[in-house]
Structure 1
Amino acid sequence: NALVTKIKEQRITEKIQPVNVWVIDAAETPEYPAKPRKKLNILLGIFFGIFGGIGLAFFIEYLDNTIKSSEDVEENLHIPVLGVIPFSKIKNQRIENVVVDEPASLITENYRALRTSVMLCSAEKPPQTILVTSMASGEGKTTTAANLAFTIAKTGKNVLLVDGDLRRPRLHKVFNLENTSGLSTFLSGVSSGDILQKSSVGNLSIMTSGPIPPIPSELLNSVRMEKLVKTLSTKFDHIIFDSAPVLSVTDSQILTRFIDSIIVVARAGHTTYEAARKGLKILKEIEPHPIGMVINAVDTKRGWINHYYGYDGYCSRVADDS
């Protein structure tokens, strides 16, 4: 009972103690919330969005190790750039025959410039046998070989285009030709007759690959192949070989024994400098040859190609006049 009494007394004492409270300023309803600060947040979002995006773009560009411009290629790989071919955004365009189908286009003019570079790449005389290859598939070696053959043939030279890619041949599809006989059947001894076919350009002949053999490298490395190249060299001014990619198989290495000059095709924004260095090292191991690069599918809007003082518009005017 005494404990209960003391507790009650304590409670009463607490209730009667004075509370010192002063009202300094009367509370008012705010006109707008203290948080979030929308205008500040919007301004910060715009600022970081713009400058953060620009910084990220530069960072991604810094990490991009792909070939883009001729200046970078000559500085990093120390080989001349023979030509720069712009990317075609026209749907269903036969890019392999653009020189014939669209003679006044910017792409065709760049292939003509490539022809001039190839003809002048040797100090003594233009190369007679030319190997066109790439580091990997899908970089435009067949397209480059076909259009280069067209442009040289249009100068009146007798040109032979050989499909030396005995693994994934495409020239017979590009020119709509039969492929029941060709390079593979001749080298294997199955056919010894005429394996050359005509194209739409009178002085351009095509040798298709023929059926795909079990071991293409053995046929290309044969004595029969060496004799074939020597015989054809007496009949044609220029022989262009479309070969298999360098990093995939050894076919291009083998063909370097029979050629005068090498053209390596790189696709802008796709072929890396690491792959290019490996491929060039492989090509130089067997026979030292003049090597030049063609940068294919260059995006003109990204500034990776020189417009030759508005040549695109000039070509358009030529097309209109013709």
Structure 2
Amino acid sequence: MEEINLIAQYDAKSPIAEAYKAIRTNLQFASVGTAARVITFTSATPAEGKSTTISNVALTMAQDGKKTLLIDADMRKPVQHRIFGIPNQGLSNCIAMDVSWEETVQHDVVPHLDVLTSGPVPPNPSELLGSERMQKIISQVRTQYDYVLIDMPPVLAVTDAVVMASRADGVVFVVKSGSISPEEANMAKTKLEQGGAHILGVVLNEVPRRQHGSYGYEYYYYYDEEHVKHRNSKKVNN
């Protein structure tokens, strides 16, 4: 496993790990009354930190005793198998070759956390994600886990996240500070909503904030349906 990416595992008491735990808590509150078990994570463009964010949030849910499944549905540039140091035989095999997800999922990568990696990169990711077979897999795993977190490709790069938007109970939108314009963020949000997405919240990451020789780590999260805004700041020693 990559210690740098999985800070919630290797430095569980650090300020950044605590921020991931706060995101977990906000998602649990957002799920109350809505049964939001299947949640996708995406971003507007590549390299905004969605895969690192989802892997750490999945870890914090597992640490909280929740039976959690992490699915790497970014079948164009999959990374979860590298982050967790496990073989990449997974989702594309299940869909294209009609292999059972139960046979493919890798159990207890850490206690309470199972991972279904992306599998070999297919020529038609959007078609696979939009297939009836994918719908069946989602229907099955939602009955077996407390939470199913799905890592999706960026919204503005390809259509995959939009295809999956209506099949999940909610979407978390990850934005890297300073990496995209407000217009790009709004465009991505509009595409998700047009696809039937229920945006549970936004995580704004990598916000450097110098204060007394330290950097501040900040994320910004809101409940979409209640229009309630929460802001939480954490310090990370420079």
Report if TM-score (shorter chain) is over 0.5: yes
- Asked whether 1:184 is paired with 2:92, we answer yes
Q: Is the 8 A contact 1:149 1:161 kept in 2?
A: yes
Aligned to 2:224: none
Aligned to 2:76: 167
Aligned to 1:50: none
- Asked whether 1:118 is paired with 2:32, we answer no
Distance in 1 of aligned mates of 2:98 and 2:70: 21
Note the C-alpha offset of 1:312. Answer: 4.2
Q: Give the counterpart of 1:148 among 46, 57, 64.
A: 57
Unaligned runs of 5+ in 1: 1-92, 316-322
- Asked whether 1:205 is paired with 2:114, we answer yes
Across the two proteins, how many residue pairs are aligned to each other?
Answer: 221
> 1:229 corresponds to which letter in structure 2?
I
Distance in 2 of aligned mates of 1:98 and 1:113: 14
Q: Give the counterpart of 1:255 among 164, 188, 202.
A: 164
Distance in 2 of aligned mates of 1:238 and 1:204: 10
> 1:273 corresponds to which letter in structure 2?
P
The answer to which structure has the higher strand fraction is 2
Q: Give the counterpart of 1:270 among 174, 179, 183.
A: 179
Q: Is the 8 A contact 2:207 2:218 kept in 1?
A: no
Q: Give the counterpart of 1:230 among 139, 142, 160.
A: 139
Q: Is the 8 A contact 2:155 2:162 kept in 1?
A: yes
| Inter-CA distance 107–310: structure 2 relative to 1 (3 Å threshold) | closer
Q: Is the 8 A contact 2:218 2:233 kept in 1?
A: no
Distance in 1 of aligned mates of 2:69 and 2:8: 17
| Inter-CA distance 277–304: structure 2 relative to 1 (3 Å threshold) | farther
Distance in 1 of aligned mates of 2:112 and 2:232: 33
Larger Rg: 1
Q: How does 1:1-322 map to 2 (within 5 A)?
A: 94-125=3-34, 127-179=36-88, 181-189=89-97, 191-192=99-100, 194-301=103-210, 312=235
C-alpha RMSD of the superposition: 2.4
Note the C-alpha offset of 1:96. Answer: 2.1
The answer to which structure has the higher helix fraction is 1
Q: Is the 8 A contact 1:220 1:255 kept in 2?
A: yes
| Inter-CA distance 112–95: structure 2 relative to 1 (3 Å threshold) | same
Note the C-alpha offset of 1:306. Answer: 6.3
Q: Is the 8 A contact 1:95 1:143 kept in 2?
A: no
> 1:171 corresponds to which letter in structure 2?
Q
Percent of aligned pairs with the same amino acid: 33
